[in-house]
Amino acid sequence: MNDDALLAEQLAYYRAGAAEYDRPYAERAHLRELLTVVDELPVTGDVLELACGTGQWTTRLAARARSVTALDAAAGMLALARARATSPRVRFIEADLFAWRPPRRYDTVFFAFWLSHVPPARLTAFWDTVAAALAPGGRAVFVDDGPAAAAEEEVLAGRPVPSVLRRLDDGSRYRVVKVFRDARTLTDDLSARGWSARVRTVSGCCVGVAEPPPGTGTCPDAAAGSG
């Protein structure tokens, strides 16, 4: 299965499973505790949130930010996020994150449990997009699963793109990209790309803050700054 087909199936999973998305937050204490980590992270100014899901993180970002622009490709997820995050500082956009390009720059780019859903072959393009979205002095802030989370997944072995099989309540099954990385691997990868990164492990998950290489990142409204 190539990247395009797998990513289409991944998107279909999130569109079909929006109503079930919040269940892990209700069932797993470490996820609820992890939500509070945002209060300790350098989330400031105008924030771009990638793959916002049902808005679990969006509300906390809005409490820290001047504005939040939250993107997701699944309309059902966005409907739930809009109901949860009602702050006038939040704006939602439905967009395919693999095709979307930032029209302006932001002080913070945040993404939770999204990096592990990016196929390795698209990782360079993803980090380039993040760099293009950051204003001078801006930071990428992210949270994602660590290797321990693999025990909770149905990992598909021998696939060209690391992936897992997920099931919804109606019995439907979907293949989803899932790349489990530890804090050291993430730090080394970003360092190799010229980023300055600090990644630590919190409740078995990776929490990172990264700054792009100097002089990188261009977008159509680059001259406008972060606005």
CA separation for the pair 125, 116 (Å, rounded): 14
CA separation for the pair 204, 186 (Å, rounded): 14
Half-sphere exposure of 145 (CA within 13 A, CB side): 17
pLDDT in tens, 58-115: 999 999 999 999 999 999 999 999 999 999 999 999 999 999 999 999 999 999 999 9
Q: How remote is the C-alpha of 37 from its chain's centroid?
A: 15
**Into which CATH architecture does domain 3-224 fall?**
3-Layer(aba) Sandwich (3.40)
Classified as helix, coil or strand, 73 is: coil
Q: What is the DSSP letter of 153?
A: S
Q: Where are the domains of the chain?
A: 3-224
Q: What is the DSSP letter of 213?
A: P
Residue for token pair 């956009």: 93
Q: What is the DSSP letter of 42?
A: -
Stated pTM of the model: 0.93
